[in-house]
């Protein structure tokens, strides 16, 4: 991937931009710049305005200008055509507010990722909705496909604030009941909850025949316990504090975290749920590729 694309896809760079719509557009544009390079060679994105011509399509809808430039036949598609219903569900509990100095918080990262996904989805004519949850469902927007609606979702993402404890089962079970039409469910969370409860919640969507992608967002410090020798830790949801000598517990901590992440990943795959681990320094191309891979399987 080119140096410019890597810069544009950097969470730190994106965080310094002025508004959510600009962030979303640059995330997608940076992603597309790097698409032709490894590891995405041969992977294509066809936005909704055009799709490849297939025998039996109305030849009157062929875009001959595009054919003249590319020597390939494409069909013009129209604004009312929608390929699928997509829902992005964001965990905005207090633990998602964690960040190290100089980095973006997990919740900010989730918001930027969601914005990029919404922009890319709507460009592909995928009607997109949004839900914000913690212990309960804070906000729920049904999928729609208009520019004004996209701006409404960006406004919601711009105002995200971490609060309350996590109750994955309660919140996602409620959302599973509210989502009536089958589609693509994308959950963005740190999943710092009992793994069995997380899987139970995600399986509710699978039982209703939805496709599901789980993006686990963690800070590098949460994975590695990269803190000074002596540190005071505060639980962001309960306020409980504990003082420890980090060097004495780091090795055991890392093993437990590795076990936790591996268990969640394995259980997701066992239930045909796509899973990707992201940190708040991971460039956004990895998540967008995971989305496009799952979308491709659906058609």
DSSP letters, 3-66, are HHHHHHT-HHHHHTSS-HHHHHHHHHHHHHHHTTSTTSTT-----TTEEE--TTS-GGGB-HHH
Residues of the chain above pLDDT 70, percent:
77
Residue 37 pLDDT > 70: no
User: What is the pLDDT, as a whole number, of residue 145?
Assistant: 87
- Residue 86: what pLDDT? 94
More confident residue, 74 or 177: 177
Q: Given this model, what pLDDT does residue 58 score?
A: 64
Are 196 and 249 part of one and the same domain?
yes
Grade residue 233 by pLDDT with cuts at 50, 70 and 90.
low
Cα–chain center distance at 164: 21
What angle (nearest 5°) sits at the alpha carbon of residue 45, between those of residues 43 and 46?
Answer: 135
Is residue 44 domain-shared with residue 115, that is, in the same domain? no
How many structural domains are present in the chain? 2
* Weakest-pLDDT range from 8-12, 67-71, 169-173, 260-264: 67-71
Which of 76, 107, 124 is a domain's end point? 76
Residue 127 has what pLDDT? 92
Does residue 117 sit in the same domain as residue 144? yes
| Confidence band for 115, pLDDT divided at 50, 70 and 90 | very high
Q: Residue 298 half-sphere exposure, CB side, CA atoms within 13 Å? A: 22
Q: 119 and 66 share a domain?
A: no
pLDDT surpasses 80 at 67: no
284 and 189 housed in the same domain:
yes
209 shares its domain with 251? yes
> 141 and 111 in one domain?
yes
Q: Based on the fold, state whether residues 71 and 112 are members of the same structural domain.
A: no
pLDDT level of residue 230 (50, 70, 90 thresholds): low
Q: What mean pLDDT is predicted for residues 54-60?
A: 65
Q: Hey, what's the torsion of the CAs at 195, 198, 200, 204, to 10 degrees?
A: -160
* Region of poorest pLDDT, from 1-10, 175-184, 258-267, 277-286: 1-10
What pLDDT is stored for residue 5 in this prediction? 58
> Do 40 and 187 belong to one domain?
no
Lowest mean pLDDT among 39-48, 60-69, 275-284, 288-297: 39-48
User: Who wins on pLDDT, 135 or 4?
Assistant: 135
The pLDDT assigned to 36 comes to 47
One domain for residues 71 and 181: no
**Number of residues assigned to the chain:** 299
Q: Nearest CA to 116 among 124, 143, 98?
A: 124
Of 53, 76, 99, the residue at which a domain comes to its end is 76
Residue 235 has pLDDT above 60, yes or no: no
Structure-block tokens of residue 12 = 């730190």
Q: What is the pLDDT of residues 138-160, one digit of tens each?
A: 999 999 988 899 999 999 999 99
Mean pLDDT (whole number) for 257-264:
95
| Mean pLDDT across 68-79 | 66
> 215: closest CA among 136, 295, 109, 138?
109
- Residue 61's domain comprises 3-76
Which of 76, 104, 136 is where one domain is finished? 76
- Taking 70 as the threshold, does the pLDDT of residue 20 lie above it? yes
193 phi/psi in degrees, rounded to 5: -150, 170
Could you write out the DSSP letters of every residue in the chain?
Answer: --HHHHHHT-HHHHHTSS-HHHHHHHHHHHHHHHTTSTTSTT-----TTEEE--TTS-GGGB-HHHHHHHSS-EEE--TT----EEEEEEE-SGGGG---TTS--HHHHHHHHHHHHHHHHHHTT-EEEEEEESSSEEEEEEEE--HHHHHHHHHHHHT----S---HHHHHHHHHHH--S--EEEEEE---S-HHHHHHHHHHHHHTT-EEEEEEEE-HHHHH----SEEEEE-TTT--EEEEEHHHHHHHHHHHHHHHHHHHHHHHHHTT-EEEEEETTS-THHHHHHHHHHHHHH-
Q: 287: domain CATH number?
A: 3.40.50.410
Rounded mean pLDDT, 208-219 = 94
Regarding whether 92 and 63 lie in a shared domain, the answer is no
Compute the average pLDDT of residues 208-229.
87
pLDDT of residue 43: 43
């Amino acid at each position: 991937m080119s140096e410019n694309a890597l810069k544009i896809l950097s969470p730190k760079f994106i965080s310094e931009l002025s508004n959510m719509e600009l962030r979303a557009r640059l995330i997608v544009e940076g992603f597309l710049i790097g698409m032709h390079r490894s590891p995405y060679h041969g992977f294509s994105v066809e936005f909704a305005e055009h799709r490849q011509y297939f025998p039996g399509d109305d030849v009157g809808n062929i875009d001959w200008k595009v054919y003249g430039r590319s020597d390939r036949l494409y069909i013009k598609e129209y604004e009312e055509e929608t390929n699928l219903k997509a829902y992005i569900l964001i965990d905005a509990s207090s633990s998602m507010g964690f960040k190290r100095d100089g980095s973006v918080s997990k919740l900010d990262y989730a918001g930027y990722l969601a914005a990029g996904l919404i922009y890319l989805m709507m460009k592909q004519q995928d009607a997109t909705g949004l839900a914000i949850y913690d212990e309960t469902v804070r906000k729920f927007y049904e999928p729609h496909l208009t520019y004004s609606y996209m701006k409404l979702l960006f406004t919601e993402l711009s105002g995200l604030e971490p609060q309350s404890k996590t109750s994955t089962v309660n919140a996602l079970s409620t959302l599973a009941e509210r989502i009536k039409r089958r589609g693509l469910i994308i959950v963005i969370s740190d999943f710092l909850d009992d793994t069995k409860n997380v899987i139970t919640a995600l399986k509710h969507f699978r039982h209703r025949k939805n496709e599901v992608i789980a993006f686990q967002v963690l800070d590098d410090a949460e994975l590695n316990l990269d803190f000074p020798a002596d540190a005071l830790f505060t639980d962001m949801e309960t306020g409980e504090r504990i003082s420890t000598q980090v060097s004495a517990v780091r090795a055991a901590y890392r093993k437990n975290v590795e076990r936790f992440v591996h268990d969640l990943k394995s259980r997701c795959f066992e239930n045909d749920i796509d899973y990707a681990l992201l940190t708040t320094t991971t460039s956004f191309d990895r998540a967008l590729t995971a989305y496009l891979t799952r979308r491709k399987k659906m058609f």
